Structures are given as structure tokens and as C-alpha cells.
């Protein structure tokens, strides 16, 4: 299934690099077993040391489970049993004007939140846009957000932020991510819809399941 193309302003180099021997980005828990999704570009050709970190779990070791450089995403594992994880949206219940949120670890800031709105949907803005169809948003993001999630107004996962070779980025949609998780035998949660949540509640939940990812290589 095609990835969803998000029309998002991109004025900076995608992904953060701490120094010549380190790649850094974001990842997020997608399973109660400790599996996370991220972008394959952060892992590169391999990591001598792979770690995740946020204020709730501290700094923990991680390991690759499945890396798909062609698709641009990766699944990594840990021994962590997270208190929160994402729920993947089975469909995009989006209307023009709806709020969407991107979460990630910006290079110079740490955990950061970007808010935007849906500016158009291929389904005509009728609230029934399917995962394979396109939509546009007003979101802007910064270096370090690569591998982070974009969620809808209910906190359901819309996609994973993945760099485009020609610049900008796309979202790997839920159908593609579910297929990758199924292939790897990773359990995850999905939902068609969820109750509306306060923006502050959605952000507080993300602080638990979004992590800083570091890959140290030779």
C-alpha cells in the first residue's frame, strides 16, 4: 500500500546528527512488549550501540528487529515494558480543519510538539478518508523528528515520519506499518476511532511513549 504524502513545510536538514559517529532521531512504543517504530535512516548500516531514552524509562539499550531501508522504516526492540504505547488508526477519520500533532526529539530542544490542521483530504473532508488516500496538513517539523509519530485529534497514530530522498518527508501510513509489524510477529493495538481527548492529555501520553533514539557507529 502506498505511503501517504503529507504536504509539510521542510526548511531544515532532516534528522539530527550529534557528531560523526552518532545518528540521532526519534522512536515510539507501538507494543506493550517493548517494540518501537522508527525511521531506517537513523540506524543506517548498523549501530555499535543503540539506545533509547525519555524521562520515564531513563536510558535503555535497544536492538534492531527489522529494518526496511526501501520503505524507510524500522522496528526495534527493548526489555522495557512501557506504561503507554500508540494505537494505530484503522482508518483516517479526518475532516478539513481537524487538529493533528507531530511528536519528536528536536536536536536543540528535547521532546517537542508540533500542532497543525488538516488542510484537505482526498475523501472530500467527509470524515471517511481511508488510510491509502492522500491528505494534506499545515504541520512543520524540525531536525530530530525523523522516526516520530503523527497522531490525530484523538491521539490515534496516523503515520511515521520518514525522510524523502529529494527532500521533505512523508508519513508511512498505518496499513504499511501494520504489515511490517505483522511480518515481525509484533502485537499492537488498533482502533477505528476513539473518544476526543484534550490536547494536553494527548501530549502527556506522548511524553511516555516517544523516545530519543541514538545510534553510535564506527
* Residue 129, pLDDT score: 46
Q: What is the pLDDT of residues 82-116, one digit of tens each?
A: 999 999 988 777 788 889 999 999 877 899 999 99
Average pLDDT of the segment spanning 167-171: 63
**Is the pLDDT reported for residue 26 higher than 70?**
yes
Q: Which of 210, 215, 193 lies closest to 150, judged by CA?
A: 210
Which has more pLDDT, 183 or 119? 183
- 16-83 matches 87-210 in fold: yes
CATH classification for the domain delimited by 87-210, as one of 2.40.10.10, 3.40.710.10, 3.40.50.1100, 3.40.50.970: 2.40.10.10
CA 3 vs CA 71, 72, 181: distances in Å: 9, 10, 16
Sorted by where each begins, the domain ranges of the chain are 16-83, 87-210
Structurally, what CATH architecture does the domain formed by 16-83 represent?
A: Beta Barrel (2.40)
Cα dihedral 56, 15, 108, 5 sign: negative
Q: Are the CB atoms for 171 and 72 separated by under 8 Å? A: no
- 131 confidence band (pLDDT: 50, 70, 90): very low
> What pTM, to 2 d.p., does this model score?
0.85
Amino acid at each position: 500500500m502506498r505511503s501517504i504524502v503529507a504536504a509539510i513545510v521542510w526548511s531544515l536538514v532532516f534528522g539530527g546528527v550529534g557528531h560523526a559517529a552518532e545518528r540521532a532521531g526519534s522512536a515510539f512504543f507501538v507494543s506493550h512488549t517493548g517494540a518501537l517504530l522508527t525511521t531506517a535512516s537513523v540506524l543506517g548500516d548498523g549501530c555499535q550501540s543503540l539506545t533509547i531514552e525519555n524521562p520515564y524509562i531513563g536510558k535503555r539499550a535497544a536492538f534492531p528487529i527489522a529494518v526496511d531501508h526501501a520503505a524507510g522504516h524500522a522496528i526495534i526492540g527493548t526489555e522495557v515494558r512501557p506504561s503507554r504505547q500508540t494505537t494505530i488508526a484503522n482508518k483516517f477519520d479526518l475532516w478539513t480543519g481537524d487538529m493533528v500533532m507531530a511528536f519528536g526529539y528536536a536536536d536543540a530542544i528535547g521532546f517537542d510538539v508540533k500542532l497543525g490542521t488538516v488542510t484537505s483530504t482526498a475523501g472530500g473532508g467527509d470524515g471517511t478518508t481511508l488510510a491509502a488516500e492522500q491528505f494534506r496538513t499545515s504541520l512543520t517539523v524540525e531536525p530530530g523528528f525523523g522516526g516520530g509519530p503523527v497522531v490525530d485529534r484523538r491521539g490515534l497514530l496516523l503515520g511515521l515520519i520518514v525522510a524523502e530522498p529529494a527532500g521533505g518527508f512523508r508519513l508511512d501510513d498505518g496499513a504499511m506499518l501494520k504489515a511490517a509489524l505483522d511480518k515481525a510477529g509484533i502485537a499492537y493495538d488498533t482502533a477505528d476511532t476513539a473518544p476526543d481527548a484534550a490536547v494536553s492529555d494527548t501530549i502527556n501520553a506522548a511524553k511516555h511513549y516517544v523516545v530519543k533514539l541514538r545510534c553510535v557507529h564506527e
